[in-house]
Structure 1
């Protein structure tokens, strides 16, 4: 049984946990406040889920999801995630994260910062352009007309394809893009950030995206 390890249990993390359990995965979920603070969520999720520390969640994960504020990504366990697929859900909010010069001058992206912190992990950008409540309400069976699509970015084609299959199980089509550095195409204030789009619409929105400096 594949285990999804979640580092972060906020709006996105808790919703991904619900999707994972509903799709038959085991879930190990963690936050910065301690496993005891996740008792209600684990009770809701049922026997396929347990609470743990971030290190324990990283160690248990076959696929990890990092869904914490960008300003604390340096706290993400490194050794325990070596060689693993790590899904990055983050966005840059200066009012929350403080000013990050490399993002302000657009010399890198949020997912590349996580990849740099996790040099031997396979980082895939996903889930950052959909409102959390819609994760459990917008999913539809494969083949449904006008099914919502979500974008994936990564440098490892096999990792991207694996996360694409996960999205399909969760009820979404995947628009897969390489390399990871193209993740800026779905950051804040781009055409694909937020609206419900099918595969064709999201592909077009990604193509229309412009760097902040060019807006």
Structure 2
């Protein structure tokens, strides 16, 4: 009997609201998970033990070293100071949103020619960037998980220019309890942003696909 391949190893960068939730549901789905904040892992060790049992708190450089994908869940206003070299060569899942009423105006994200994840990708030019998880509230991500085939199973969008990267992230989305809907480019990730047709909406796959179909990008 052939053993099943190991599940993708995930590093979560960010220990605020979103990061621990994604880490927790990934651990629940069987993924090996490490989590890092901006400094010494000892500072989040107790939080991790309580909120994300099974995840390993590490220094950021150690957390990302041998993983298959990195979840970027830091506050967007801190991205300007983020070191692109930390995730060079990595698949990065951008969960951030540019929302001026919350984060204030961020000059880096003010170029209306690009979606926020395209701007992230331009700065992380040695990484492969995928946009996902950003259009669901962190509390919803855990509460709305459902097994495959469930009538109330919610869809989550996955936007990327790299098909292989999109497929890998889609597999993670499916495993943690959602139907993944692939968008055909990272630019199409604008549909997942604040003000987009699916932002904050709990939609099943048919409704989600209908919502994003034919919307100008």
Q: How many residues align?
A: 210
How large is the RMSD of aligned CA atoms in angstroms? 2.0
Aligned equivalents of 2:136 and 2:23: distance in 1? Answer: 15
Is 2:30 the partner of 1:24?
yes
Contact 2:156 2:181 in 1 (8 A): yes
Structure 2 length as normaliser, TM-score?
A: 0.88
Contact 2:154 2:204 in 1 (8 A): yes
Gaps of 5+ in 2: 1-5
Contact 1:102 1:108 in 2 (8 A): no
Instruction: Assess, with a 3 A threshold, how the Cα gap between structure 1 residues 208 and 102 changes in structure 2: closer, same or farther.
Output: farther
Q: Within 5 Å, which residues of 2 pair with 1:134-213?
A: 134-207=140-213, 209=215
Shift of 1:63: 0.8
Structure 1 counterpart of 2:92: 86
1:176 aligned counterpart, secondary structure: strand
Structure 2 counterpart of 1:114: 120
Deviations 1:26-76 (A, max 9, x none): 211111253222122321333x42112222222243210001122222333
Structure 1 length as normaliser, TM-score?
A: 0.88
Shift of 1:104: 3.9
Structure 1 counterpart of 2:44: 38
Gaps of 5+ in 1: none
Aligned equivalents of 1:93 and 1:37: distance in 2? Answer: 28
Shift of 1:92: 0.6
